[in-house]
Amino acid sequence: MPYFAVICRDKPDSLSLRMENREAHLAYARDSGVLFLGGPLIEDGQMAGSLAILDVADLAAAQDWAAHDPYGKAGLFQSVTINEWKRVIG
């Protein structure tokens, strides 16, 4: 299956919203079974977004995963970009 990079940028001044939904987001990511790797994007020492590399069948599956992420459902993100990603090194 191909990999897809889900790149999410938080809305400004939304760290409290991120923290309120963090446990649900982490459980979703862990339990989904498709997360290859992931973690927060950092700006000025603070979490300011998310990067998730998914191992899914196609773009539609990656979009579905992103749509059900508790962070996204809570309205945390200013933007979400999904691109196919090719693993070359590592």
Mean pLDDT of the chain: 97
pLDDT digits (tens, 9 = 90+) for 39-56: 999 999 999 999 999 999
Q: Give the sign of the dihedral formed by CA 16, CA 20, CA 21, CA 27.
A: positive
In this predicted structure, the answer to whether residue 12 has a pLDDT above a threshold of 90 is yes
Contact by Cβ (8 Å): 82, 65: no
Instruction: For residue 25, give both structure tokens.
Output: 């987001």
Q: Could you tell me the pLDDT band of residue 1, with boundaries at 50, 70 and 90? A: confident
Q: What Cα–Cα distance (Å) separates residue 61 from each residue in 11, 36, 65?
A: 24, 14, 6
Q: Three-class SS of residue 44?
A: coil
Residue with tokens 């987001």: 25
In the chain, DSSP finds a helix count (H) and a strand count (E) of 3, 4
Dihedral, CA atoms, 64, 65, 66, 69, nearest 10 degrees? 120
What predicted TM-score, i.e. pTM, was given to this entire model?
Answer: 0.93
Domains of the chain: 3-85 (3.30.70.1060)
